[in-house]
Amino acid sequence: RWGGPPLVVRDVVVIGGLGGSPGENTGRQNGNQGDIRGFDVRTGKQLWKFRTVPRPGEFGNDSWLNDAWSYSGDVSVWGQLSADEELGYVYAPIETPNNNYYGGARPGNNLFAESLLCLDAMTGKRVWHFQAVHHGIWDWDFNSPPSLLDITVDGRKIKAVAEVSKQNFVYVFDRVTGQPVWPIEERPVPRGNVTLPLGT
């Protein structure tokens, strides 16, 4: 199943992947990963698949330490996708990996979790991404559909995309390049020392 409705852009049906899978908040890991897929609108043939939990050799796999990519799940679009038909880009708000409230079994930054991801609708290739929370443990994922806006900032016209977070922050990017319209400050947080045996 998928969490949000499919989206059609440039004759490609885009589905956001498995959402809200069992075990999300139970302390268990599951391998139900939320791959995003594109299908031909006329034939139904799958054209591409983007793995939101990257496999070895794929961009971002090194952010899932100790092979956590192989057993971690979710990282799906459980809200709504948005798309720019003119650009042919799809904007996907990505959720937290399981377990939502304990990350000891999935060390690393866990890309593409808790990210806004821009994909080429025809190929499924990553254009750009922004990860709001590295290694999330509080379920602070993106769940709102990205809003496409044409704005003017300091006299410059910008094709923008805005994403509202559960913290009530609004992240605004150039939807072509992924560059933040206004500065976004990265803040380090202290590391904890809580560990549980894998599989609990």
State the pLDDT at residue 19. Answer: 54
C-alpha to C-alpha distance for 110 and 63, rounded to whole angstroms:
5
State the pLDDT at residue 149. Answer: 96
Respond yes or no: is residue 139 known to be catalytic.
yes
C-alpha to C-alpha distance for 67 and 163, rounded to whole angstroms:
30
Quick: pLDDT tens for 55-104: 999 999 999 999 999 888 889 898 899 999 999 999 999 998 988 888 87
CB 96 within 8 A of CB 140: yes
Low-confidence ranges of the chain (pLDDT < 50): 21-23, 25-27, 200
> Which 3 state secondary structure label does DSSP give 65?
helix
From the list 50, 19, 24, the residue with the least C-alpha distance to 117 is: 50
State the pLDDT at residue 190. Answer: 80
State the pLDDT at residue 11. Answer: 95
Look-up of token digits 């139970």: 26
- The whole model's pTM is what? 0.89
State the pLDDT at residue 198. Answer: 56
| Given 11, 40, 139, 174, the catalytic residue | 139
State the pLDDT at residue 99. Answer: 80
C-alpha to C-alpha distance for 97 and 76, rounded to whole angstroms:
8
